[in-house]
Amino acid sequence: MSNKIKKTNIRAIFLYLVMCGLAVVIVMKILFIQTLQPQISKINTPSFVPLSAARGNIFSDNGSLLAISMPLYNVYLDLSVIEDKIFVKESSSLAFGLSNLFKDKSSNEYLKFLKSNRNSKYLKLKNKVTYNQLKELKGLPILKLDKNKGGLIAEKRANRENPFGILAKRTIGLLRNSNPIGLERAYNKTLSGLDGLQLKQKIGKNLYRDEDSDLNLSPQIGCDIVSTINIDMQDVAHQALSSALLKHDADWGTVILMEVQTGHLKVVSNLKKNKDGSFDENYNHAIAKHSEPGSTFKLASILAGLEDSFFQLTDSIDTEDGTHKFSDKIMRDSKKGGYGKITLGQAFVKSSNVAISKVVNKYYKDEPQLFIDRIYKMGLCTPLDIELPYPNSLLIKKPGTKQWNSVTLPWMSIGYSLRLTPLHMLTFYNAIANQGVMVKPLFTTSVMNGGRVISKNNIEIINPAICSKSSIDKILPFLIKVVDQGTAKSIKNTNYKIAGKTSTTLLDYGLSEINTENGEENIKKYQASFIGFFPANKPKYSCIVLVNNPKKNGFYGGDVAAPIFKEISDKVFASDISLHQSIDNEIEKESLPFVSNGFSNDLHNVLEKLNIPFNAQQSQWSVADKKNNQINLRLRNINNDLDRNKIPSLYGMIISDAVFLLENAGLQVTFKGKGKIKYQSLEKGKEFDLGMKINLIAS
Amino acid sequence: MSKNRSILSVLKGDFFSKKESQNYFPFLFLIILLLLLNIRLSFNAESLLKESLKLERQITSLRLTYVNTKSELMKVYKRSEIEGLVKAQGLNSSNNPPRIIDFHE
């Protein structure tokens, strides 16, 4: 018995020791892995994973998406994993599906492509595949199998999508490592949000569990930006500008449409024509291209003189033979032979270079700084402080410097010898439309987070009065005349009035002069532009259209730029409901009843009883009409005429009144019908004798 | 000697056969039951977590589908696109301003 116990003891001790030995080995191995093999030990260790914050969207003024984060995929195929049997059976169906999906190759071409790369392990199928396309891809024969059998490899890539493509592309912008642009750059911090951190524990293949930690940081989604761009107007401007660039074979063009009172930029279109006839927005000419504005600057020159009371628009100027020599340089009008003697207002309407430069030179020659000071006051010499960054190459020559010479002033008065951006010029014209109040052009209206407005971009007034209202009132009719009778009469409209100014700027003016002097062949390049606002009686929008180097079908501002302006303004006018009154209002205006001409006392009684507003002159007989929402009863000289034996005008008079009057005057009256008189046999003013017959016909 | 014996008795499981130990059996069963319940709940929690992650992926997928489809919709929503589609039928956008009718109750 004791032997048996002894044997058991030895076995137990042996087992005990073996177990202890195993435990030591396991502990040693754990320590070894933990300390010397971190690549293994850290696989399942919870670790902090960065969580990138979703970038905010950019919206148009009515909530359409202009820029959104939407991943794209580069798709590859590992054809080597597909079994031969499956490949032979289903490759044709796959090729058909691929052809249907991408529509870039025929099924036969895809089949050939797949067969020729049968053993490829990383065959590029297509780049920039959208998520919807990827989902369809995953449903195609072969590719719907598991990754290890179907061979589909999709590599995700971050992408910022502009659903409207080229529309306002340069203004919406692009975030990239070098030279980011547009709103994406200007509002990058707002759009980016804040990245977060999360402690995660791996619990399976591609499966992680969030772990609690004080260091966890939730990502903050970027805010959304609501821009001022109206995508419908932008599209209209894009279409109008692109077809004009093609028609005139121009190099590039730009259109800006601004809301007069708010400075909201509804359209910023910059198109450059490529050699293949396609268009691209690769430079923001609207805000960054500094060039000589040409004749559109004449408005500033005229306003300067009006403000300084040097001249009036009724002053007469001799345009001579269409040329005038300043020092050694000759100023020319576009019309050969000139316009003769015209008023300054007419000179503005006809855009006479000679007249404007002569008058400005006459009054400012001795004190050019006075002219420059006026231009400063109109905000044309100060760079615009806008949301988007742009290179500032603004140029206004200063008297007394090397740049200034004896011809600088006359040439500056017609828009040469200075450089401004299209947006700068539009801001100036917008101020004229806004009764002298210059507002800052705005690209955005608000910043939103989770659908809630967190900050608003309010209207900013740059200058409350760039000039006096009386000067604006004086020049406004002439801005309208430019369209009605002047250089832009081709866009005269019946639905609404447009006020504006054309410009045809000779590009590289100095170079052109040198070439002419040297006798070299001089190929002149022009820049056609039109700046205006509409409806002229109550401006809601201002707009600039600028077309660079038109080579076909005309080059004048009135022929090239103005029609683009009209195409845009017509569509905007037709689609902006706020510009139109409701029919109810019109009916209200028409709700005043028709009032016949007749005996004044009777008319007074009836109108008073019916509570119809009226305004009456003292007379026995009245002529009634409607004006300013009331009935006007004007003096009718029937008794005077009859006293002098002259037939009065009886048209519109009630027949019973007329018969009474005429018979009292001694005439024999015959009549037909009842109501208003529409015919009288004896004409007004004819002398009559007693007993003379007169025939009346009433309606 | 007595020490060796006590170790041996633990290894042999003699203490289970003692009458005093048997009084603790219900308690032991309870502990075992709780342990089993704990294991089961852990598995359940893990499967719920997997389900939650799967649903999160579905949400991401649906969001991407929404964004993608909305982006495609925006493209065809353009005035010029619509004009192009109806041009063949002789239709184009009007330049005549609308007539507004106010409705008063």
Q: Name residue, tokens 């036969």.
A: A108
CB of B60 within 8 Å of a chain A CB? The answer is no
CB of A493 within 8 Å of a chain B CB? The answer is no
Distance of alpha carbon A669 from alpha carbon A690, whole angstroms: 12
Q: Name residue, tokens 């017959």.
A: A693
Does any domain span residue B10? Answer: yes
Identify whether residues A558 and A674 lie together within a single domain.
no
Q: Which residues contact A210 (CB under 8 A, 6 or more apart)?
A: A198, A199, A200, A201, A216
- Hey, are the CB atoms on B11 and A16 less than 8 Å from each other? yes
| Residue A122 token pair | 């990383």
Does any domain span residue A184? Answer: no
Which residues in chain B are closer than 8 Å to A201, comparing Cβ atoms? none
- Compute the half-sphere exposure of residue A599: CA atoms within 13 Å on the CB side of its CA: 11
Identify whether residues A676 and A593 lie together within a single domain.
yes
Q: Name residue, tokens 């509570």.
A: A611
Closest CA relative to residue A295, chosen from A168, A152, A412, A456: A412
| Residue A213 token pair | 């930690």
Q: Could you give the angle at which helices B79-87 and A231-247 cross, rounded to 10 degrees?
A: 60
The region of weakest confidence among A9-23, A53-67, A277-291, A512-526 is: A512-526
Identify whether residues A596 and A539 lie together within a single domain.
no
Contact between A296 and A501 under an 8 Å Cβ cutoff? The reply is yes
Identify whether residues A195 and A156 lie together within a single domain.
yes
* CA dihedral sign of residues A373, A378, A381, A383: positive
Chain B residue with minimal CA distance to A165?
A: B75
Residue A242 has what pLDDT?
94
Per residue in A515-551, pLDDT tens?
455 555 567 899 999 999 999 999 999 999 999 999 9
A439 burial (CB, 10 Å; 0-12 / 13-18 / 19+) is buried
Contact between A614 and A629 under an 8 Å Cβ cutoff? The reply is no
User: Quick check: helix, strand or coil at residue B61?
Assistant: helix
Q: What are phi and psi of A344, to 5 degrees?
A: -65, -35
Contact between A655 and A673 under an 8 Å Cβ cutoff? The reply is yes
- Hey, are the CB atoms on A135 and B74 less than 8 Å from each other? no
Residue B15: which domain range?
Answer: 2-87
At residue A3 the predicted structure's pLDDT band, cuts being 50, 70 and 90, is low
Does any domain span residue B17? Answer: yes
Identify whether residues A150 and A279 lie together within a single domain.
no
CB of A232 within 8 Å of a chain B CB? The answer is yes
Distance of alpha carbon A620 from alpha carbon A638, whole angstroms: 9
* Cα separations in angstroms, A206 against A67, A156, A196, A650, B63: 31, 16, 20, 99, 21
Q: Final residue of a domain: which of A579, A597, A613?
A: A579
Identify whether residues A268 and A402 lie together within a single domain.
yes
Q: Final residue of a domain: which of A579, A599, A632?
A: A579
CB of A534 within 8 Å of a chain B CB? The answer is no
Number of independent structural domains in chain A? 4
Identify whether residues A82 and A21 lie together within a single domain.
no
- Mean pLDDT for the stretch of residues A641-656: 82
What number of helices (H) and strands (E) belong to chain B? 5, 0
How many angstroms separate the CA of residue B85 from the nearest CA in chain A? 15
Please report, rounded to a whole number, the percentage of residues in chain A having pLDDT higher than 70: 94
Per residue in A266-322, pLDDT tens?
999 999 988 887 888 989 999 999 999 999 999 999 999 999 999 999 999 999 899
Identify whether residues A6 and A114 lie together within a single domain.
no
Q: In this structure, which amino acid lies at residue A391?
A: P
Does any domain span residue B22? Answer: yes
Helix (H) or strand (E) holding A599: strand A598-599
Identify whether residues A475 and A551 lie together within a single domain.
yes
Number of independent structural domains in chain B? 1
Per residue in A471-511, pLDDT tens?
999 999 999 999 999 999 999 887 899 999 999 998 876 54
Identify whether residues A574 and A645 lie together within a single domain.
no
* CA dihedral sign of residues A137, A142, A146, A150: negative
Please report, rounded to a whole number, the percentage of residues in chain A having pLDDT higher than 90: 57
Rg from Cα positions in chain B: 39
Which residues in chain A are closer than 8 Å to B46, comparing Cβ atoms? 203
At residue A259 the predicted structure's pLDDT band, cuts being 50, 70 and 90, is very high
At residue A514 the predicted structure's pLDDT band, cuts being 50, 70 and 90, is very low
Does any domain span residue A262? Answer: yes
Does any domain span residue B41? Answer: yes
- Hey, are the CB atoms on A571 and B50 less than 8 Å from each other? no
A542 burial (CB, 10 Å; 0-12 / 13-18 / 19+) is buried
Does any domain span residue B100? Answer: no
Helix (H) or strand (E) holding A693: strand A693-698
Closest CA relative to residue A226, chosen from A18, A427, A455, A385: A455
At residue A411 the predicted structure's pLDDT band, cuts being 50, 70 and 90, is very high
A344 burial (CB, 10 Å; 0-12 / 13-18 / 19+) is buried
CB of B77 within 8 Å of a chain A CB? The answer is yes
Identify whether residues A283 and A147 lie together within a single domain.
no
| Residue A400 token pair | 């007394």
* Cα separations in angstroms, A515 against A326, A336, A519, A528, A551: 20, 22, 6, 22, 20
Q: Name residue, tokens 């300013």.
A: A628
ipTM more than 0.90? Answer: no
Which residues in chain B are closer than 8 Å to A69, comparing Cβ atoms? 67
Which residues in chain B are closer than 8 Å to A580, comparing Cβ atoms? 97-100
Does any domain span residue B104? Answer: no
CB of A584 within 8 Å of a chain B CB? The answer is yes
Does any domain span residue A55? Answer: no
pLDDT of residue A372 exceeding 60: yes
Residue A674: which domain range?
Answer: 589-698
Distance of alpha carbon A400 from alpha carbon A403, whole angstroms: 8
Helices of type H across A199-343 = 231-247, 285-288, 298-307
CB of B2 within 8 Å of a chain A CB? The answer is no
Residue A510 has what pLDDT?
55
Distance of alpha carbon A562 from alpha carbon A555, whole angstroms: 11
At residue B99 the predicted structure's pLDDT band, cuts being 50, 70 and 90, is confident
Identify whether residues A561 and A636 lie together within a single domain.
no
CB of B13 within 8 Å of a chain A CB? The answer is no
Residue A389 CB neighbour total at 10 angstroms: 13
Residue A589 has what pLDDT?
56
Does any domain span residue B52? Answer: yes
- Compute the half-sphere exposure of residue A93: CA atoms within 13 Å on the CB side of its CA: 12
pLDDT of residue A671 exceeding 60: yes
Does any domain span residue A316? Answer: yes
Does any domain span residue A378? Answer: yes
Per residue in A96-143, pLDDT tens?
999 999 999 999 999 999 999 998 889 999 999 999 999 999 999 999
Q: Final residue of a domain: which of A523, A552, A579?
A: A579
CB of A573 within 8 Å of a chain B CB? The answer is yes
- Hey, are the CB atoms on B100 and A577 less than 8 Å from each other? yes
- Hey, are the CB atoms on A132 and B65 less than 8 Å from each other? yes
At residue A219 the predicted structure's pLDDT band, cuts being 50, 70 and 90, is confident
Residue A2 has what pLDDT?
57
Question: Kind of pairing, strands A499-506 and A526-534?
Answer: antiparallel
Does any domain span residue B101? Answer: no
